[in-house]
Amino acid sequence: KVKESGKNNCLLYSDTWENSSLERLKLQHDLKQALSKGEFVLHYQPQYNLCNGNMVGVEALIRWQHPERGLVPPNQFIPLAEESGMIVQIGDWVLQEACRQNKAWQDEGLTSIPVSVNLSIRQFLQQNLTDKVSQILKDTGLQAKYLDLEITESMTMDIERASRCLLELTSLGVNISMDDFGTGYSSFNYLKSLPIGRLKIDRSFVRDIEQEAGDAAIVAAIISMGHNLNLQVIAEGVENEAQMQFLKKHHCDEIQGYFWSPPVRGQQIAEMLQGVWKH
């Protein structure tokens, strides 16, 4: 019996494995054409100031409108794009599209707010990243201060390189945010020496803020450390009133999460900025 179930498990495992590697190949194949077919779309998630409830920024989040699979979330294709190197072209498109959209909102006469764009490690390692960003800002006519670039702690492992690269980028006038803060390889020394403007507290710490004393302590500590280093602090993944109240009590600057809004289409951001939607 044990043997039999062992065999079944093995079969099941190998089945799943084969399916998933075949799946990956199929996705990889489709991904190569997705860009030229115009299948990517950006959604935008609002970021709110906790004192006055104003929308103070949006994060651009990519989705893939697959002809058969529907809307594919980034976790299902960004890792594949990273592996194959396609992330560089996709990332260029994201930067271009986010800047274009932000300028379009401004041209509609809406309140000017920065758009945050997630950078992947491969993009960050490109020699010509600063030139690219600079060119995209020129082409779209967006002022640098309305672009925020999100990096992760893993990109700062080579501190010399990261420092050089971030100084170049910030000399353009763009802001740098440290995404998923607290989950990665972090050294407080880096925070002090890198030209970072904002910390994004990872949502894994926010989720159980009410139940887990440890998470609450970490969140409070990140906020106070961030402020002492003159950084803005935003919390990700805020899903309910209690989490928001905790963050407010601890003077977190901004929040982003389903509680106030999921990622939405660009048109909906325009309506929100027009004041059709209010908090």
- If the CB atoms of residues 236 and 254 are measured against Mg ion, the closer one turns out to be 236
- If the CB atoms of residues 143 and 204 are measured against Mg ion, the closer one turns out to be 204
User: Which one of 72-80, 163-171, 184-192, 209-217 is the stretch in contact with ligand C2E (CB under 6 A)?
Assistant: 72-80
Structure tokens at 145: 């201060």
Applying CB under 6 A, among 5, 33, 36, 75 the residue interacting with ligand C2E is 75
Applying CB under 5 A, among 97, 148, 150, 254 the residue interacting with Mg ion is 150
Whether the CB-CB separation of 239 and 258 falls below 8 Å is answered with yes
User: Can residue 258 be called a binding residue for ligand C2E (CB under 6 A)?
Assistant: yes
- If the CB atoms of residues 81 and 137 are measured against ligand C2E, the closer one turns out to be 81
Binding mask 170-209 for Mg ion (x = CB under 5 A): ---------xx-----------------------------
User: Which one of 9-17, 23-31, 245-253, 256-264 is the stretch in contact with ligand C2E (CB under 6 A)?
Assistant: 256-264
In the complex, minimum distance from the CB of residue 62 to ligand C2E, in angstroms, rounded to a whole number: 4
**CA–CA distance, 256 with 59 (Å, rounded to integer):** 9
In the complex, minimum distance from the CB of residue 235 to Mg ion, in angstroms, rounded to a whole number: 10
In the complex, minimum distance from the CB of residue 59 to Mg ion, in angstroms, rounded to a whole number: 6
User: Which one of 4-12, 74-82, 107-115, 266-274 is the stretch in contact with ligand C2E (CB under 6 A)?
Assistant: 74-82
- If the CB atoms of residues 151 and 194 are measured against ligand C2E, the closer one turns out to be 151
User: Can residue 118 be called a binding residue for Mg ion (CB under 5 A)?
Assistant: yes
Closest CA to 241 of 262, 220, 255: 255
Q: How many residues are given for the chain?
A: 279
Pairing of the two strands 115-118 and 55-66: parallel
Binding mask 100-129 for ligand C2E (x = CB under 6 A): ------------------x-x---------
Pairing of the two strands 175-181 and 198-201: parallel
Residue 73 contact, options ligand C2E, Mg ion, none, Cβ 5-8 Å cut-off depending on partner type: ligand C2E
**CA–CA distance, 207 with 243 (Å, rounded to integer):** 8
Q: Which residues bind Mg ion (CB under 5 A)?
A: 118, 150, 179-180, 236
Q: Where does this chain bind ligand C2E (CB under 6 A)?
A: 45, 61-62, 73-75, 78, 91, 94, 118, 120, 179-180, 203, 236-239, 257-258, 263
